[in-house]
Structure 1
Amino acid sequence: MNAPSLTDLGLRPFFQQQLSLEELENDALGRVIEHHKSEVVLLAGDDVLRFRLPPNLDPVCVGDWVLFNDQRLLRVLERQSLFQRKAAGSGRERQLIASNIDTVFIVSSLNEDFSLNRIERYLALAKETRVEPVIVLTKVDLCTADVETIRNQVQQLDSLLSVYCVNGLDSNDIAALKGYCQRGKTVTFLGSSGVGKSTLVNSLLGHSEMETGAIRDQDSKGRHTTTYRTIKWLPEGGLLMDTPGMRELQLSDAKEGIKLTFADIESFAEQCRFKDCQHHNEPGCAVNKAIETGEISPRRLENFQKLLREEAHNSASLAEKRVKDKAFSKMVNTVQEQARSVKKFK
């Protein structure tokens, strides 16, 4: 491949319009292709550059466009899309996952890992960020159930959703995914550990770059070995962002994405007699009526309500942290101002 241009890296007017004339003349743009704990690796045309993260820089993640000069990183450009989550555990931090994605492959295996609830969770995350979701159901060669029946269950979540059943080692199956990987486009995979993401990465790259583990007999999962986020070139000219498996994906600030994922329930809810209907035993509940007629499954309503509760709880926790951080910053600024005043009069 010839030296990549910034357009090859995904640069588009949305990002260019954020730069001043002075910045265009004196500084340079690069895209974050690797993110480690205290440093990042940028690709800027043909140059691969490594920078330490300065303490005053806004949070950075793989996929970001950043402005830099010979000495340091200057600023992070506004993102066109951003995948983020509440950090795993009970903390109140938000974890950035990846930015400026065009298509997200939501991966679930067809064996014991398969879960419509989990797919809906990932769909809510994708729809919140306005990134095109594509469902990839893997390990079709190991599936003992009827593959087409499972595929239809996923398709019923959204009639416009693209759903593919693949053997990650079959080049004919993989060919269907390559149309999303064209020049200047960035794709990524989301899915729990061991569903075959690394195998798909190797197949799309055309060579074995990501280590994969054997399938464990007890739970039909592979031993996923990706430990950091990074961007790789695809033969079709696009970029593939590989992310570690995420065992715990908690939604926050994703209420709109949840409602878009469950648009059918939202549509029926508008017909309920009471605007604040909780869809339990209220009279005139159109959602419960739709369940009785088979238009909505009880599982789908239960998962919708579960995700809304989780999102509300996590968003409240993060909002509380933001308020506390703001109060702490204000206190620090006050102390610093008082210290300066005392010093001035000495």
Structure 2
Amino acid sequence: MVTVTPPLPTDRLAALGWDDFFSSQILPAQAHLLPARIANVHRARLGAIGVDGPIDLVLPHHTNTGDYAVGDWVLVEPQTDLLVHRLQRRTVLERRVLSARTPQLAGANIDTLFIVTSCNADFNPARLERYLALTNQAGIDPVILLTKADTADNPEDFRQQALQLQRDLPVVLINPRAPEAAALLAPWCGAGRTVAVIGSSGVGKSTLVNTLAGSAIDQPQVTGGIRESDAKGRHTTTARSLHPIASGGWVIDTPGMRTLQVSDVAEGLDTLFAEITELTPLCKFRDCTHEHEPGCAVQAAIAAGRLDPERLARWRKLHQENRDSTPPAKGTRGATPPGRRRKS
């Protein structure tokens, strides 16, 4: 007897972020399996969302949940909820930590990353550049969100500083608690789109997730304050999770990050420091360090006032750190090389 699998409701799958990139990966022998999206990752279990709602996945023996990211697409046995296969990722956001042998996965199949910082002592161009390098390398579109504008004498100064960090970088002043916050971010939160929220603790990330999710969120993210003396806060989000956005799309919350090592992000740095990247071929020496060599186009730009010397100093620091901490070349963990992700 041949079992016929009924066609999946493509509109409901598309609302979860499913498209031809993922469907094209399904082999004929896998046609009976059901797609589901990883919604939360715990030490010993994985939760997912399918077209019929939440799924507590049954894991094969020896499954390492650390190999899965919130936002991953997986194929599931319909009768048993057994996880069978993970599909290739379009994008993956990951960071390398000194104590770990492999990168830590922060989210997968993300379209836009909201990098949240405050108009106070938390605003740190050097740290924001680290986030941007990571985002660029992943092939994800970055947007900087500036919170706590009401505490600053001139929040526009912070916005102008953020705009200088990368070409064509969207920067939005926002109050995460305000009802209009969701409307301000609507251009990046359409149906089937996935955004993630990242930043240091106490800047309003969890509040923003709650605002975007609205009444659709089952368990609102716990929020916490910050010390006004140094703008530092406690980590109120301890696990990554996927939530539906009330107006459409999905949002991934991430724990606060106070340290972010730069590793394996050469292309991301080239995008971040495009004004330096484009000048480098004009230097007299191919291996120019932009420090003291004659005929250096970068130093000439600084002398002419066209390039901020602080930008060059930060480029040099990140370039050196990336070179020192990048492991030997090996296969990526399912990421699509920069420039190859579908734009819509």
Q: Which amino acid aligns with 2:149?
A: V
Do structure 1's residue 124 and structure 2's residue 133 form an aligned pair? Answer: yes
| Deviation digits for residues 191-210 of structure 1 (CA, Å, limit 9, x no counterpart) | 11222111211222235811
Q: Which amino acid aligns with 2:20?
A: P
Mark the structure with the bigger radius of gyration: 1
Give the conservation status (yes or no) of the 8 Å contact 1:212–1:222: no
**Separation in 2, partners of 1:73, 1:90:** 29
**Separation in 1, partners of 2:325, 2:206:** 30
Give the conservation status (yes or no) of the 8 Å contact 2:70–2:108: yes
Do structure 1's residue 30 and structure 2's residue 36 form an aligned pair? Answer: yes
Do structure 1's residue 283 and structure 2's residue 290 form an aligned pair? Answer: no
Tell me the residue number matched to 2:340.
none
Tell me the residue number matched to 1:239.
250
Tell me the residue number matched to 1:338.
none
**Separation in 2, partners of 1:276, 1:231:** 45
| Deviation digits for residues 60-81 of structure 1 (CA, Å, limit 9, x no counterpart) | 1110001121252111100000
Tell me the residue number matched to 1:292.
303
Structure 2 residue corresponding to 1:77, chosen from 73, 81, 87 = 87
Give the conservation status (yes or no) of the 8 Å contact 1:226–1:244: yes
User: 5+ residue gaps in structure 2?
Assistant: 1-9, 332-344
Do structure 1's residue 15 and structure 2's residue 22 form an aligned pair? Answer: yes
**Separation in 1, partners of 2:298, 2:58:** 53
| Deviation digits for residues 240-298 of structure 1 (CA, Å, limit 9, x no counterpart) | 11111112221222110111111110111111110100011111111111112222112
Do structure 1's residue 310 and structure 2's residue 321 form an aligned pair? Answer: yes
Tell me the residue number matched to 1:97.
106
Q: Which amino acid aligns with 1:128?
A: Q
Tell me the residue number matched to 2:142.
133
Matches within 5 A, 1:163-242: 163-206=171-214, 209-242=220-253
Count of matched residue pairs: 316
Q: Which amino acid aligns with 1:308?
A: H
- Would the alpha carbon gap of residues 34 and 56 (structure 1) be closer, same or farther in structure 2, given more than 3 Å must change? closer
TM-score, normalised with respect to structure 2: 0.86
| Deviation digits for residues 296-337 of structure 1 (CA, Å, limit 9, x no counterpart) | 112111111111222222213xx39x79xxxxxxxxxxxxxx
Seq. identity, %: 41
**Separation in 2, partners of 1:118, 1:214:** 21
**Separation in 2, partners of 1:266, 1:203:** 39
SS at match of 1:245: coil
SS at match of 1:206: helix
**Separation in 2, partners of 1:305, 1:33:** 38
Give the conservation status (yes or no) of the 8 Å contact 1:196–1:222: no
Q: Which amino acid aligns with 1:286?
A: A
**Separation in 1, partners of 2:297, 2:69:** 43
Do structure 1's residue 268 and structure 2's residue 279 form an aligned pair? Answer: yes
**Separation in 2, partners of 1:96, 1:173:** 28
Do structure 1's residue 158 and structure 2's residue 169 form an aligned pair? Answer: no
TM-score, normalised with respect to structure 1: 0.86
Give the conservation status (yes or no) of the 8 Å contact 1:86–1:314: no
Q: Which amino acid aligns with 2:229?
A: Q
- Would the alpha carbon gap of residues 173 and 47 (structure 1) be closer, same or farther in structure 2, given more than 3 Å must change? closer
| Deviation digits for residues 46-105 of structure 1 (CA, Å, limit 9, x no counterpart) | 231112543256811110001121252111100000011112x34432111110001111
SS at match of 2:13: coil
Give the conservation status (yes or no) of the 8 Å contact 1:198–1:224: no
| Deviation digits for residues 20-68 of structure 1 (CA, Å, limit 9, x no counterpart) | 12211x2111000000012110111123111254325681111000112
**Separation in 2, partners of 1:174, 1:16:** 30
| Deviation digits for residues 95-119 of structure 1 (CA, Å, limit 9, x no counterpart) | 1111000111111111001011111
| Deviation digits for residues 117-143 of structure 1 (CA, Å, limit 9, x no counterpart) | 111111111111111111111111112
Give the conservation status (yes or no) of the 8 Å contact 2:56–2:81: no
Do structure 1's residue 111 and structure 2's residue 120 form an aligned pair? Answer: yes
Q: Which amino acid aligns with 1:289?
A: A
Q: Which amino acid aligns with 1:211?
A: V
Give the conservation status (yes or no) of the 8 Å contact 1:107–1:191: yes
**Separation in 1, partners of 2:184, 2:268:** 26
The Cα shift of 1:214 comes to 2.3
**Separation in 2, partners of 1:7, 1:148:** 38
**Separation in 2, partners of 1:292, 1:53:** 60
Give me the CA root mean square deviation: 2.2
Give the conservation status (yes or no) of the 8 Å contact 2:55–2:81: no
**Separation in 2, partners of 1:41, 1:71:** 11
Give the conservation status (yes or no) of the 8 Å contact 1:57–1:74: no
Give the conservation status (yes or no) of the 8 Å contact 2:58–2:81: no
Return 49-58 or 107-116, whichever deviates more.
Answer: 49-58
- Would the alpha carbon gap of residues 278 and 53 (structure 1) be closer, same or farther in structure 2, given more than 3 Å must change? farther
